[in-house]
Copies of this chain bind each other. A is one copy, B any other.
Amino acid sequence: MRIAFFGDVVGKAGRTVLADELAGLRKRLSLDFVIVNAENAAGGFGITAKTAEELFDAGADVLTLGNHSFDQSEALGLVERDSRILRPCNYPEGTAPGRGSGLYDLPDGRRVLVMNVLLRLFMESLDDPFRRVSEELDSAPLGAVADAIVVDAHGEATSEKSALGVYCDGRASLVVGTHTHIPTADARILPGGTGYQTDAGMCGDYDSVIGMDKEEPVSRFVTHMRSSRFSAASGPATACGTFLETDDSTGLARRIEPIRIGGVLAGHEPSVS
């Protein structure tokens, strides 16, 4: 199976690069399934029905979220109604609306389990991400129930993301980080067969401070005062993500490569024959 995962879409610039590029990519990479982290899709803060629709129209099959899941109040209803949008799976039971994971059917009958999890180092503490992910992995074992499993590890610290990758090694097809908005150059297959990349990077304008217009963030670091609101940078965006090819007999990773298309970053597109 061929899967692409794209990191945090930031504002209109991020949505636009996917609208422009995703259809072509789906063809060129023969993608079976596309997952997009959309926690910053709406002007940099959360998701709305309209921005979700844009991303589905662009070619996303499933959207994941993170610590900004509910920045926009309409997301509360959205995640209830649309089972293709996932908020972190480790909210305490009975609290957040919506779902933290989903098992999705491909047209050909193969099934992909996707989950979104919020890590805890330097972040708000939801339930134990390691245990919750383990329970989710057990609910649809790779190669038995799920043909592929993708874990979106939304977190700050490289140590925690890396440990989660190791912890899931052999039980998931892909553990990929989000939240830092900067792609890492460590995509690889772990010894047990799980594809891993510490952060997918954002889909957004990198001529910015992690997707936001540069002036205000720099000013806040220097002065510790607010001058204005943060606004999503609007220059040409880079679509950053991860390409994964799994072995359909096991669900494990056969190949992993970063994707970087457009904008100011050095581009990279896997070449698929």
Tell me the A residues contacting B by CB distance below 8 Å. Answer: 70, 91-92, 95-96, 120, 122, 124-128, 130-131, 156-160, 162-164, 166-167, 180-188, 190-191, 198-199, 201, 206-210, 214, 217-218, 221-226, 240, 257-258, 260, 264-266, 268
User: Are A92 and B159 in contact, with the CB atoms below 8 A?
Assistant: no
List the 5 closest pairs (A to B, CB-CB), nearest first.
A95-B223, A185-B185, A125-B125, A183-B185, A158-B180
**A122-B122, A159-B217 known; A222 vs B95 contact (CB < 8 Å):** yes
The DSSP consensus for interface residues of chain A is: loop
User: Are A185 and B265 in contact, with the CB atoms below 8 A?
Assistant: yes
User: Are A122 and B214 in contact, with the CB atoms below 8 A?
Assistant: no
User: Are B91 and A166 in contact, with the CB atoms below 8 A?
Assistant: no
User: Are A210 and B159 in contact, with the CB atoms below 8 A?
Assistant: yes
A92 vs chain B, min Cβ distance (A): 6
User: Are A122 and B156 in contact, with the CB atoms below 8 A?
Assistant: yes
Residues of B within 8 A of A240 (CB): 185
A233–B83 Cα distance when bound, in Å, is: 39
**A158-B181, A182-B162, A217-B159 known; A224 vs B126 contact (CB < 8 Å):** yes
Partner of A218, one of B166, B218, B258: B166
Partner of A222, one of B92, B214, B221, B265: B92
Residues of B within 8 A of A163 (CB): 209, 214, 217-218, 221
